[in-house]
Amino acid sequence: MHLLDSYSQTFLSTGQERSDKQRENFKIATFSLVNSKLNIGVQNTGDIPINITRLWIQNTTTTDWFQTYSIKINVPPGTTASNVGQSVPLYINSANSYNIKLVTERGNSQQFSVNSPNFAPLNIQLLALPPNVASGFQSQLIMIVTNNGSSTLTNLSPAPLPSPTGSASCAAGPVSPTSYNTLPPGQTAVFSWTVKATAPADGWSCKYTASLQNGYPGQSVQATITVSAIQLSSTTFAQNSGILTLNYTTMAWTQGGSWNTGWSVPGNTATILKLNVTNNNATTNTNLYLSKNSQILLVDTQGSTTTPLYIVTNASSLSPLAVNPYTCGGPNDYCISLPYGKQVTLYFAAGQQQGGTGTMKKVPGPGHEAVAFLVVYGKYSTSQSTSGSLYGQSLPYMGFEFS
């Protein structure tokens, strides 16, 4: 009888252990490098405590190198343990790639990888905003890097920016920020340079090529800044034209029915955006006439896409949603003017230049976020049909979250 009881207790104990192992759930919540050492956050997503007892790491750059470390981290249900790996006598070389595994006392494990930027090609964009500037004015180079892989990237930084090619004289300032310590899968890093461009004549340009420090061999991106030499009839542009300003508090959007405010917008739906813009030009005999190229540019921070919403004349109907295309008589461009010292409401919705209701663009899908720039192209002139001084400007920054 005693032997039978012992067997029953052993059987029940083994069954309980098997059940507990199946109920055990955890995930890697965060990862970073602190002083070149692992700093892992582990979240217990199950309903029983877990005890992490081993950390296993393989340097995949040197395929026969691996180490196992004994650790003791208890994580109650619903909590997150931080600084896992900081006590381990291991220093990470950010130029190498690693496989890392955490193992619990019950034998469950979670594994992830850490790679350097040269492991595989990444989604990289280089934008010049605005791409056209007056001589002596500044543009901004924006490098957008998205980790489209399944591994966390470490030590992400742009390579020193080479001198540009082209006829214009362009000088770039320092990059900001200089680096990202880590970049988890699906996340985006943004680097920017301020560039001053000068040229004696319209149409001169400079082309920049950018890449990542220790990046994937041969992967680079390019952007061009074109200079427009602007002179008004009486005095210089810098003294009299001022700059456009955007009233961020009056920004509104609609997908039909009524106008809404705020940065949370339903995703993957045709949308009209309206903005109030002021022309601070001090010259009383010229207005700024807007080109059909003017747009709101949505830069998806969680993907590799940009979405332009081109200018339209107005919202002709909210139910059903409709817009009037940006068309007019004469040269069929420069249809809307911003009088000096005045504020004008502008509308953006088309997926192509001078598009109407049938071309309305859908914003990015649910779960995405975007940084938005108002990119204005135009001319300072006395009328729509006469020639004038070309002008371009971007007005940052708006932010949207798509639900």
Selected residue with higher pLDDT from 196 and 12: 196
Q: Does residue 342 share a domain with residue 318?
A: yes
Instruction: Identify whether 37 is part of a domain.
Output: yes
Q: Are 279 and 376 in contact (CB under 8 A)?
A: no
What count of other Cβ atoms lies within 10 Å of the Cβ of residue 57?
A: 21
Give me 23's structure tokens: 């109920």
Instruction: Identify whether 195 is part of a domain.
Output: yes
DSSP type of residue 365: P
Domain hosting residue 203, numbered range:
121-225
Q: How far apart are CA 3 and CA 187, in angstroms?
A: 59
What count of other Cβ atoms lies within 10 Å of the Cβ of residue 152?
A: 22
Can you give the CATH number for the domain in which 307 is found?
2.70.50
Phi, psi of 239 (to 5 degrees): -80, -30
CA distance to 118, 121, 207, 326, 343, per residue, from 216 (Å) = 4, 6, 21, 43, 48
Instruction: Identify whether 282 is part of a domain.
Output: yes
Query: What integer best gives the mean pLDDT of the chain?
Result: 84
Q: Does residue 178 share a domain with residue 65?
A: no
Q: Does residue 387 share a domain with residue 272?
A: yes
Q: Which of 69, 92, 114 is the last residue before a domain boundary? A: 114
Q: Does residue 388 share a domain with residue 308?
A: yes
Instruction: Identify whether 236 is part of a domain.
Output: no
For 112, residues 6+ apart whose C-beta sits below 8 A from its C-beta are 28, 31, 99, 100, 151, 152
Instruction: Identify whether 233 is part of a domain.
Output: no
What 3-state DSSP class applies to 239?
Answer: helix
* Residue 102 pLDDT: 93
> pLDDT for 262-314, tens place per residue?
888 999 999 999 998 888 765 556 788 999 999 998 888 776 688 899 999 99
Q: How far apart are CA 354 and CA 360, in angstroms?
A: 11
Partner residues linked to 345 by β-bridges:
276
Q: Does residue 370 share a domain with residue 256?
A: yes
> pLDDT for 145-183, tens place per residue?
988 877 778 778 899 999 999 999 999 999 999 988 778
> pLDDT for 59-79, tens place per residue?
888 767 889 999 999 999 999
* Domains: count for the chain: 3
- In the chain, the amino acid numbered 112 is F
Phi, psi of 107 (to 5 degrees): 100, 0
Supply the pTM of this predicted model.
Answer: 0.47
> pLDDT for 351-364, tens place per residue?
999 999 999 999 98
Q: Does residue 136 share a domain with residue 27?
A: no
* Residue 196 pLDDT: 92
Task: Tell me the average pLDDT across 25-40.
Answer: 85
Instruction: Identify whether 237 is part of a domain.
Output: no
For 78, residues 6+ apart whose C-beta sits below 8 A from its C-beta are 44, 45
Q: Are 182 and 115 in contact (CB under 8 A)?
A: no
* Residue 231 pLDDT: 47
